Chains A and B, each alone.
Chain A
Amino acid sequence: MAMNEKSTFDGLKAPQAQLTWVKAAPVSAFAENGSGCVLHEGEQIAVFNFTDTGRWFACQNLCPHKQQMGLWRGLLGDQGGEPKVACPFHKRTFSLETGRNLQGEDLCVKTYPVKVENGMVYVGIETSEGQ
C-alpha cells in the first residue's frame, strides 16, 4: 500500500503540474466531522473536516461507481486508521489518502490537498504550466 501511495503522489506531482489554491469556505462553515462541496470552474470537489484528528481531506465529488455527484454527502470514517468516505448511494468506500476503493473494487477517486490558513479552507487544484 505504501508503494501505491507513493506512485499516486508521484503521478500527481508530475513536473509540469502546478498547484492553485482555491478558496473553499471559512472553517466555521463546516460542521465538526462534517463536509461540504466546492464548485470551481465546473469541477466539484468534496471537502471533509476530520475534527477529531484535526485533518482535512478532499476528493472528487463524483462517485465512480454509478457517476453520481454525491461523495460530499457521504459519511466520514476510518478503516484501520485510514480516513475514508462512504458514498451515500451504494456505500462504496474510498480512502481519502489514496483515493482507492477500500472494498477492493477497481474504482478510484482523485484526491486533492487541503490547507487551512487564518481560518480559511483552501483546496489545491492542479493547473498545467501553460494555463
Chain B
Amino acid sequence: MKNIVVVGNGMVGHKFNEKLLAKLPDGLANLGVCLTVIGEEPRPAYDRVHLSDFFNGATAQDLELAPPGWHAQQGIRLLTGECVTEIDRAARTVRTHTGRALPYDFLILATGSAAFIPPVPGMEHPGVFAYRTIEDLEAMTAHAKPGQRAAVIGGGLLGLEAAKAVLDLGLQASVVEFAPRLMPRQLDQAGANLLKAKLESLGIQILLGKNTRCVEAGPGGLTLQFTDEQALEVDMVVVSAGIRPRDELARQAGLATGGRGGIVVNDHLQTSDPQVWAIGECALHQQMIYGLVAPGYDMADAVAAQVAAALLGQPPSDRVFTGFDMSTKLKLVGVDVASFGDPFCEQTPHDVLLWEDRRRGVYKRLNLTPDGKYLLGGILVGEAESYNLLLQMVKNRMALPPHPEDLVVPPRAGAGPEAGAGVAGLPDGALVCSCEGVSKGDICQAIDKESLTDIPGIKKCTKAGTGCGGCVPMLNDLLTLSLKKQGKAVKRVLCEHFNYTRQELYDLVRINGESTFRQVINRYGTGCGCEVCKPAVASILASVHNELVAKQSVIQDTNDRFLANIQKGGTYSVVPRVPGGEITAQQLIVIGQVAQQFDLYCKITGGQRIDLFGARVEQLPLIWEQLIAAGFESGHAYGKALRTVKSCVGSTWCRYGVQDSVGFAIEVENRYKGLRAPHKLKSAVSGCVRECAEAQSKDFGIIATDKGWNLYVGGNGGAKPQHAHLLAADLDKATCLRYIDRFLMYYIKTAGPLVRTATWLNNLEGGMDHLREVVVNDSLGLAAQFEQEMQQIVDTYHCEWREVVEAPHLRAEFRSFINTPETDPTVAFVPERGQKRPQAW
C-alpha cells in the first residue's frame, strides 16, 4: 500500500491528479495506491483563469474543472474545506486543522499563492477585497452597488482582470499602479501608453506612479492616501498587486524556502526533502515563481511522471522541468494584449520592427536578430491574432519570411494570406496548446484518424484548447488546413437540396438567367426544396430579375406570400411606406379612416411608420385598394428587403442641422424601396453629428457634416447590437448613393441567407479595410457592374400591392378557405386599452 498526498486542490494540484491517472492505465486501486487530495477551499478545483466569467453569468459549478463525482469514480479521496497545518517529515504524516493525520509516501505540495496585500495601514477595512477565490468574488458582489466607484490596486495582468470584473459589476473603475506604466512585466512604454489610452476610452481611470500610503475608512466610503499627498475616494478597493507563494506549511516543516517566498525546488521539482515535491505557484525554481497555469501544468506532468515510474517499479523518470516560456496572450477589458519570447531584449542585441496605429489603437513590436532572420520576441496590443504564429516562430526558431513587416501590418485587399496558410509552415513538433502540451502533429493526426470536423471534437479528443483557450484560433486554422488536405472543402451549403453556397447559386442564376424555383432546383439541386432554400432562391430571383414577388408566391415565406406580416392568431399587419417618416395630415386621415373601417389595431413602429394590425387574409386586398388609391405604396415590412430610411428633421427645422436630412432620406428610401436582400435592410439619415436618427445602428446610415455626408455601414440593433463603421466621409449626395449601390450589391451577392450586413461584415475576410477597398477604391473592378445592376433594379421597381390589387387572379389567392368563401371562425380578439388584440396563446 502506497500513500500519495496532494496538499492543495487548485488548478495545478488538479492537473497533477489527471496526469497521474493518465500514466497509470490500470487505475489506482489495482496498484494498491491511495491518493488523497486535501483542499482548503470549500469546493473542488475550479478554473481560476476564467474567474472573471463569474460576473458574466458563469456559476461556480460552470467553472469546476472536473465533472461532479469524478474524484469518487477515479478512486481519489478528496477532502475539501480542510487545511493541512503540519507536516511531520520524520513520521511521514501530514495533519489537518481537524486533527486528522494522514501518512504519505509521496507528498505533493500544490498550495498555490495568495494575493499580495501591501503592508500599509487600513487593508483590513470592510470594502477592501482580494481577487483570487470564488469567495472573494461573492463577497465583492454582496458589497458592490452599481454606480459606485472602486479602486483596483495593481495595474498588472491580475489588476486589469480585476478592473474588468469591477466594470462587469456595474461600478466605475480606477486602476492604481505603482510603476510608471501598466503591465510593466509584459509591455514596453509605448505599448503600455496605447493600452492606457484604450482603457481610458472605455471609461477606466488610470493612475500611474502612485504609491498607496494607507486606506482610510470614513462615513462616505474609503479613501486611498498616496505618498504624493493626493487622495482617491472610493466605495470599494480591490487589491491585485501581485502574488505571495503559500509556503507557510513548508516553512513550518523546515523545508528550504526563498528569501522572498516560495518553496525551493530542483529540476525534478523536489524540495529539500526528496520525498516532498512542490508544483505550481508555490514552487520557486531557479529563483523564479511562475504565476501562470501553463508552467504549473508542465510541473504537474513532470512530477506525475516521476511518481508513476516509482509506483510501476520502472527506472526513475528523467522527466524534468527546466523553466518555461512566460509568453501570454490575454483579453484585458476587451483589448487584446500579448507578450511573447523576450519582449524587451534588454540584454540581447536585436533590431526592432514597430507598427503603431493610434487611430485604431494597435501597437506591435517585433524583436529580430540583427541579421533579420529570426524572431526573438515581441509585444502586441490592440490586435493579437498573429500571436500563436509568432510565438511558434520564436519557439521553433523558424526563419522569418522575406518581408517580416507583413507579419504585423494588416493585410491589404488582394494581398491577404490564405486562411490557415501560416500554420502550414509549422513543424509537426510545434507545441500548439502549451497548457495541455499538445503539438501540431498530435492535433493533425487526431483530425485525420478520428475524422474530426469541429473544434469541440478536437478539444474532446486531444484536450488542446481546454486550458486558457488561447490556441483555439490556431486549432481552427489547423482544422481548415487538414480538411483541405483531405479534399473536404469546408463549405456552407444552402441546405440538403443544394450543394452550393448562396453566393454560388446567385452567380449561377445571374449568368444563366433561370427565372423560376423549379428551373433552379432542376438544374442545380435535388428534391422538392424546403423552407430554407425556397425563400433563399426567391430572394436571389428577386434581386437578379426584380420580378413581382407575388408571381412566385408558393416559394415565399408566408409573409412574402401574402405581402403582410403574420401575427399571433394568424391575422396580418399592414405597413404602408412613409419615406423618411414624412407624412401629410391628409395621409394620416386616410390611414385613420382605413383603420377605423376594418377595425385595425394601430401602433407607431420604430421605423417612423404606422402599423395596422389584425387584418384577416381576405381583407388585405380591400385595405390596400384604399391605401393605394390615396397614394400609398407597399412598405415591404414583410420582406427581406429595404424597410425604412429613418430621418431626423434636419436643417429645415432643427436649429443644429447642417443638411436637409429628411430630403435625402426620402431620396434614399425611394431609390432602394423594394430591393430584396439576404435579410432585411434598415437605414437612417441624421442632419448633424447629434445623430438623432440613430444612423449608426443601421445597415447603412448617413450623417450630415458641414462638408457633405458621412456614410456608415454594417450596424444593426436586434439581439446583438453593433455600431456601424465609417466607410467614407464628407461625400456629396451622388457619390454617397454610388457607394451605397456598390456596398449593397456586394452584400446581396455574397452574403449567406438570412445574414445581416453586420454579421456579413464581421465574417468578411479583411473586414472593413477590404470593404473600403472594394467600395471606394474599386479593388475588384466590379464597381461599374454593381452600379449598373442596382440601376436596373431601381428602374424596374413596382409596388407589389398595386399589382395584386389590380389583378383579379392574384387577389383570388387571399382567402381563408379553398372550398368556401367563409372566413376563419377561429380568429378572435379581446379588447384592450380602447383597441383590440389577439387572444393569448
| A residues in contact (CB < 8 Å) with B | 23-25, 29-40, 42, 44, 47, 50, 52-53, 66-70, 73-81, 83-84, 86, 88-89, 91, 93
Within B528-579, which residues are at the interface with A (CB < 8 Å)? 528-531, 533-535, 553-559, 561-562, 566, 568-570
Q: Are A52 and B841 in contact (CB under 8 A)?
A: no
With A33-B554, A34-B553, A70-B558 in contact, is A25–B818 under 8 Å at CB?
yes
Within B647-670, which residues are at the interface with A (CB < 8 Å)? none
Q: How far is the CA of A38 from the CA of B556 in the complex (A)?
A: 21
Judged by a CB distance under 8 angstroms, whether B819 is at the interface is: yes
Judged by a CB distance under 8 angstroms, whether B826 is at the interface is: yes
Taking the closest CB of chain B, its distance from the CB of A80, in whole angstroms, is 7
Please, which residues of chain B bring their CB within 8 A of the CB of A23? 819
Judged by a CB distance under 8 angstroms, whether B816 is at the interface is: yes
Q: Are A39 and B822 in contact (CB under 8 A)?
A: yes
Q: When the two chains form the complex, which single residue of A24, A34, A47, A69 contacts B570, counting CB atoms closer than 8 Å?
A: A69
Please, which residues of chain A bring their CB within 8 A of the CB of B557? 75, 88
Q: Are B818 and A37 in contact (CB under 8 A)?
A: yes
Within B825-841, which residues are at the interface with A (CB < 8 Å)? 825-827, 841
Q: Are B561 and A52 in contact (CB under 8 A)?
A: no
Q: Are B817 and A91 in contact (CB under 8 A)?
A: no
The residue of chain A having its C-beta at the shortest distance from the C-beta of B822 within the complex is: A39
Judged by a CB distance under 8 angstroms, whether B385 is at the interface is: no
Judged by a CB distance under 8 angstroms, whether B820 is at the interface is: yes
The residue of chain A having its C-beta at the shortest distance from the C-beta of B495 within the complex is: A77
Q: How far is the CA of A73 from the CA of B531 in the complex (A)?
A: 12
With A24-B818, A31-B813, A39-B820 in contact, is A68–B841 under 8 Å at CB?
yes
Please, which residues of chain A bring their CB within 8 A of the CB of B599? none
Residues of B in contact, count (CB < 8 Å) = 36
Please, which residues of chain B bring their CB within 8 A of the CB of A78? 527-530
Taking the closest CB of chain B, its distance from the CB of A90, in whole angstroms, is 11
The residue of chain B having its C-beta at the shortest distance from the C-beta of A67 within the complex is: B841
Q: Are A70 and B566 in contact (CB under 8 A)?
A: yes
The residue of chain B having its C-beta at the shortest distance from the C-beta of A51 within the complex is: B518
| B residues in contact (CB < 8 Å) with A | 496-497, 518, 527-531, 533-535, 553-559, 561-562, 566, 568-570, 813, 816-820, 822, 824-827, 841
Q: Are A86 and B562 in contact (CB under 8 A)?
A: no
Q: When the two chains form the complex, which single residue of A32, A69, A73, A79 contacts B562, counting CB atoms closer than 8 Å?
A: A73
Taking the closest CB of chain A, its distance from the CB of B633, in whole angstroms, is 24
The residue of chain A having its C-beta at the shortest distance from the C-beta of B538 within the complex is: A75
Q: Are B824 and A24 in contact (CB under 8 A)?
A: no
Q: Are B566 and A75 in contact (CB under 8 A)?
A: no
With A31-B813, A77-B530 in contact, is A24–B819 under 8 Å at CB?
yes
Taking the closest CB of chain A, its distance from the CB of B547, in whole angstroms, is 16
Q: When the two chains form the complex, which single residue of B496, B528, B553 contacts A31, counting CB atoms closer than 8 Å?
A: B553
Please, which residues of chain A bring their CB within 8 A of the CB of B533? 77
With A50-B528, A75-B531 in contact, is A68–B817 under 8 Å at CB?
no
Q: Are B570 and A68 in contact (CB under 8 A)?
A: yes
Q: What are 25 contact pairs spanning A and B, CB under 8 A?
A: A24-B819, A29-B818, A30-B818, A31-B554, A39-B820, A42-B825, A44-B817, A50-B528, A52-B518, A53-B528, A67-B841, A69-B824, A69-B827, A73-B558, A73-B570, A75-B555, A75-B557, A76-B529, A77-B497, A77-B527, A77-B531, A78-B529, A84-B530, A88-B559, A91-B531
Q: How far is the CA of A32 from the CA of B37 in the complex (A)?
A: 71
Taking the closest CB of chain B, its distance from the CB of A34, in whole angstroms, is 4
Please, which residues of chain B bring their CB within 8 A of the CB of A69? 570, 824, 826-827
Chain A binding surface SS class = strand
The residue of chain A having its C-beta at the shortest distance from the C-beta of B820 within the complex is: A39
Q: Are A36 and B817 in contact (CB under 8 A)?
A: yes
Taking the closest CB of chain A, its distance from the CB of B514, in whole angstroms, is 15
Q: Are B813 and A75 in contact (CB under 8 A)?
A: no
The residue of chain A having its C-beta at the shortest distance from the C-beta of B818 within the complex is: A36
The residue of chain A having its C-beta at the shortest distance from the C-beta of B534 within the complex is: A75
Q: Are B566 and A73 in contact (CB under 8 A)?
A: yes
Q: How far is the CA of A83 from the CA of B528 in the complex (A)?
A: 8
Q: Are B819 and A38 in contact (CB under 8 A)?
A: yes
Q: How far is the CA of A17 from the CA of B555 in the complex (A)?
A: 37
Q: Are A68 and B553 in contact (CB under 8 A)?
A: no
The list of the 3 closest CB pairs from A to B, nearest first, reads A36-B818, A77-B530, A86-B531
Q: Are A68 and B569 in contact (CB under 8 A)?
A: yes
Q: Are A86 and B817 in contact (CB under 8 A)?
A: no
Q: How far is the CA of A71 from the CA of B751 in the complex (A)?
A: 30
The residue of chain B having its C-beta at the shortest distance from the C-beta of A89 within the complex is: B566
Q: Are B826 and A37 in contact (CB under 8 A)?
A: no
Q: Are A32 and B554 in contact (CB under 8 A)?
A: yes
Please, which residues of chain B bring their CB within 8 A of the CB of A84? 530
Please, which residues of chain A bring their CB within 8 A of the CB of B518? 33, 52
Q: How far is the CA of A24 from the CA of B820 in the complex (A)?
A: 9
Taking the closest CB of chain A, its distance from the CB of B618, in whole angstroms, is 12
Please, which residues of chain A bring their CB within 8 A of the CB of B566? 70, 73, 88-89
Please, which residues of chain A bring their CB within 8 A of the CB of B496? 79-80
Please, which residues of chain B bring their CB within 8 A of the CB of A52? 518, 528
Please, which residues of chain B bring their CB within 8 A of the CB of A68? 568-570, 841
Interface centre among B533, B554, B813 (most CB of A within 10 A): B554
Q: Are A79 and B530 in contact (CB under 8 A)?
A: yes
Q: How far is the CA of A125 from the CA of B13 in the complex (A)?
A: 69
Q: How far is the CA of A65 from the CA of B113 in the complex (A)?
A: 54
Q: Are B529 and A77 in contact (CB under 8 A)?
A: yes
Q: How far is the CA of A86 from the CA of B561 in the complex (A)?
A: 14
Q: How far is the CA of A23 from the CA of B818 in the complex (A)?
A: 10
Q: Are B562 and A75 in contact (CB under 8 A)?
A: no
Q: How far is the CA of A96 from the CA of B306 in the complex (A)?
A: 64
Q: How far is the CA of A81 from the CA of B554 in the complex (A)?
A: 19
Interface contacts beyond A33-B555, A36-B817, A79-B496: sample of 9 additional A-B pairs, CB < 8 Å, sorted by A: A33-B528, A33-B554, A39-B819, A50-B528, A67-B841, A68-B568, A70-B566, A88-B559, A93-B530
Q: Are B813 and A66 in contact (CB under 8 A)?
A: no
Interface centre among A66, A78, A84 (most CB of B within 10 A): A78
Please, which residues of chain A bring their CB within 8 A of the CB of B554? 31-35, 75-76
Q: How far is the CA of A47 from the CA of B818 in the complex (A)?
A: 9
Please, which residues of chain A bring their CB within 8 A of the CB of B825? 42
Q: How far is the CA of A68 from the CA of B567 in the complex (A)?
A: 10
Please, which residues of chain A bring their CB within 8 A of the CB of B824? 44, 69
